[in-house]
Amino acid sequence: MDALFPIAPPSPASVLQAANRLKGLVHRTPILRSTAADEKYSAQFFFKCENLQRTGSFKFRGAFNTLAQLSDAQRERGVITFSAGNHAQALALAARLLDMPALVLMPETAPSSKMAATREYGAQVLTYDPMTEDRQAICQRLALERGMTLVPPSEHPEVIAGQGTAALELLEDVPCLDILLVPVGGGGLIAGSLLAVQAANSNCRVVGVEPEHANDAQQSLRTGQIVQIPLPRSTIADGAQAQALGPLAFGLIRKHVEDIVTTSDASMVQAMRFFAERMKQVVEPTGALAFAAANAAGLDLHGARVGVLISGGNVDLPRYARFLAD
């Protein structure tokens, strides 16, 4: 089994290198505006629509950036990962484009649309019981048995660098942002965004947003050490059901983030409806996290230029319809 990641940690320079590597391979997703949002919160919002990215989320950036740097021997043996859905799809497509095998371990509870899409992109999918089995231990065993390279969803320097290119594009297209709101699950997107702010020489403040019932990152920031929580099952944000940050992501968050706030499922649903009704965008619950925080206690956006990362749009249509109808 190859090492989880190189020794060198991610840096602002690695985000710039990733942007060059991904040029022409990822969509430079649009940045949308909303007069209704601006008027409601007395701010200027700039929505970076990664729900329109390849595979429907920002995850393709980190997956392709990582796989593109593997050796010929590693490509021949293939890659393995664990994921509830968006990283699974991203890794599967990146592996197909680079002509290498991919094996993805997904929880039995993963949305059926994400599981089906992962298979359609060409990956082999195995499932596990998240309540009784350790996904990382299973992946490490399979990687060792098959000689595959394990590429985790967040805790990898090149994954983090690739994810940071979404924020980098936003900062290039919209200079002088005051605040950037970023969803937090495993921590890769916010860690990469923090590096992107440095790479862009921006004074933008970065605020992470978690579900209130899956706030391991917020607890970690408050206590100054990584806090592991029980598997969160009481939030609709399936892409943010992480139990703990990894040391790479936590180190960047602890050093550079402005704050991490939480939001409720009800606020996520409200944000999803807003995107559907006012902006004609399909956004999954985790993808709506950042904008849902506009109502968060203690977050003052009045008069600010606010960047919002919409992280993904992969949601089962029957489930999506229920969210909009309730």
- Angle, helices 188-199/12-22, rounded to nearest 10 degrees: 100
Contact present, 256 and 268 (Cβ < 8 Å):
no
The one catalytic residue in 34, 59, 193, 267 is 59
Instruction: List all residues 6 or more positions away from 130 whose beta carbon is below 8 Å from its beta carbon.
Output: 107, 108, 109, 231
Residue 59 appears among annotated catalytic residues: yes
Residue 311 appears among annotated catalytic residues: yes
The one catalytic residue in 57, 113, 202, 311 is 311
Q: DSSP for 136-185, please give it.
A: HHHHHHHHHHHTPEE--SSSSHHHHHHHHHHHHHHHHHS-S-SEEEEE-S
> Helices H, strands E: what count in the chain?
14, 10
Contact present, 138 and 82 (Cβ < 8 Å):
yes
Strands 44-49, 31-32: pairing kind: antiparallel
Active site residues: 59, 311
